[in-house]
Amino acid sequence: METHGRAEGEPRVIKVLLYHRIIDDASSSRAHWSCIPIEQFRRQVELLDRWGFTAITLQDYQLFQRGELDLPAKPVILTFDDGYLDTYRYAFPILRQFGMRAVVFVLGDRRIKTNYWDKNRGIPEAPLMEDAQILEMYQEGFEIGAHSMSHIDLTRLPEDKVWEEISRSRILLEILLNGSVQSFSYPYGTVNAITKRMVQHAGYTAACGVATGPAAFGRDSLEIRRLTITSSIGVTGFALRLLTPYQYYAWFKWAAKKLLSPVARDERDLNRLLAEKKRRHRHRRSSTIELTKEKAYEE
């Protein structure tokens, strides 16, 4: 099957963008960096449309990998974490206007009505979507994914709690949608080997992170890294992020940040100390062997 010059199912460079809130301009002056004013978001979607991008879902990409779907010439994946009411109220109509879809990650515990987890991070409390709004977006072709049960850092939990957060959220959302939930977003973007393994065992086929490395849709479908879109990114900055070379800039930026971080410096210092200790140990061992040889010769 032809897929724009690529072999069937061959991985392609696809930008995966991460949004949180889309807000009314009136409140933008006191907004957190994760809150994108509605007109700014509209300009970004207009740019995507003008440049010929087509918004696809994670499920679309996996169908392509299995050879069951052709991808458009310029695919992009838009993702929204947390399931804010703003996503339904502001982003949803704009995306529909331009014939675009997105992936929306929501909590499995539908009793949670606001972003309580942000109260100590300087982010204003905001309502989350109701079941009917999630269902409407799903019926319009948007992909609904799980974002755990309660938006807790899974890497800090015991394994039984991690499993409950991951598996139960999928079950409850599938009951709500009367359909399949295949994608997962790690709360806070953090992931380790345990959470990834449990996501796979729970039946998810795609999972998104943020903080584990440079932004790229690589071969690991359970650790898809995303480009975070913030309120400080203007039209030019957004356009640059759509260009393929940006992923290399993002990679070097991430690598430099990791290299220069206090933790990394501590690790490098520790590695140097260990190497020096090993060198001294080899030197002492070599000296001991030479002394033993000399003593044996004298005898």
| pLDDT band at residue 283 using 50, 70 and 90 as cut-offs | low
Q: Is the pLDDT of residue 25 over 80?
A: no
Mapping DSSP to helix (H, G, I), strand (E, B) and coil, where does residue 256 land?
Answer: helix
Q: Do 144 and 38 belong to one domain?
A: yes
- pLDDT computed for residue 73 by the predictor: 92
Q: Is the pLDDT of residue 299 over 80?
A: no
Q: Do 29 and 43 belong to one domain?
A: yes
Please give the tally of structural domains in the chain.
2
| pLDDT band at residue 251 using 50, 70 and 90 as cut-offs | low
Question: CA 201: distance to chain centroid?
Answer: 19
> How many CB atoms within 10 Å of residue 233?
18
Q: Is position 4 within any domain?
A: no
- pLDDT computed for residue 279 by the predictor: 67
Q: Is the pLDDT of residue 263 over 60?
A: no
**Are the C-beta atoms of 1 and 60 separated by less than 8 Å?**
no
Q: Do 85 and 196 belong to one domain?
A: yes
How far from 298 is each of 284, 285, 286, 292, 295, CA to CA, in Å? 21, 20, 19, 10, 5
Q: Do 112 and 235 belong to one domain?
A: yes
Tell me the mean pLDDT in the region 288-294: 53
| pLDDT band at residue 5 using 50, 70 and 90 as cut-offs | very low
Q: Is position 1 within any domain?
A: no
Q: Do 195 and 279 belong to one domain?
A: no
Q: Is position 246 within any domain?
A: yes
Enumerate residues 6+ apart whose C-beta is below 8 A from 6.
12
100: nearest Cα among 19, 7, 179:
19
Lowest mean pLDDT among 47-56, 67-76, 234-243: 234-243
Q: Is position 111 within any domain?
A: yes
User: How would you write 257-275 as a 3-class SS string?
Assistant: HHHHCHHHHHHHHHHHHHH
Cα 162 to Cα 24: distance, rounded to the nearest angstrom: 35
Q: Do 120 and 22 belong to one domain?
A: yes
Question: What Rg, from alpha-carbon coordinates, does the chain have?
Answer: 24
**Are the C-beta atoms of 170 and 145 separated by less than 8 Å?**
no
Buried b (16+ CB within 10 A) or exposed e, 275-296: eeeeeeeeeeeeeeeeeeeeee
| pLDDT band at residue 121 using 50, 70 and 90 as cut-offs | confident
pTM comes to 0.79
Q: Do 297 and 175 belong to one domain?
A: no
- pLDDT computed for residue 128 by the predictor: 97
> 20 is in which domain, residue-wise?
15-260
Q: Do 150 and 269 belong to one domain?
A: no
| pLDDT band at residue 241 using 50, 70 and 90 as cut-offs | confident
Q: Is position 134 within any domain?
A: yes
Tell me the mean pLDDT in the region 59-84: 94
| pLDDT band at residue 48 using 50, 70 and 90 as cut-offs | very high
- Residue-averaged pLDDT of the chain: 83
Cα 267 to Cα 297: distance, rounded to the nearest angstrom: 45
Tell which wins on pLDDT, 121 or 166: 166
- pLDDT computed for residue 225 by the predictor: 84
- pLDDT computed for residue 65 by the predictor: 86
Q: Is position 152 within any domain?
A: yes
Tell me the mean pLDDT in the region 125-153: 97
Q: Do 27 and 97 belong to one domain?
A: yes
Most confident residue range from 8-17, 47-56, 212-221, 241-250: 47-56
- pLDDT computed for residue 4 by the predictor: 43
Identify the residue whose tokens are 């799903």: 138
pLDDT digits over 187-199, tens only?
998 899 999 999 9
Cα 267 to Cα 43: distance, rounded to the nearest angstrom: 43
CATH of residue 147? 3.20.20.370
Q: Do 232 and 297 belong to one domain?
A: no
Q: Do 56 and 155 belong to one domain?
A: yes
Q: Is position 7 within any domain?
A: no
- pLDDT computed for residue 278 by the predictor: 63
Q: Is the pLDDT of residue 20 over 60?
A: yes
Q: Do 130 and 116 belong to one domain?
A: yes
Dihedral sign (CA 146, 15, 209, 151): negative
Q: Is position 8 within any domain?
A: no
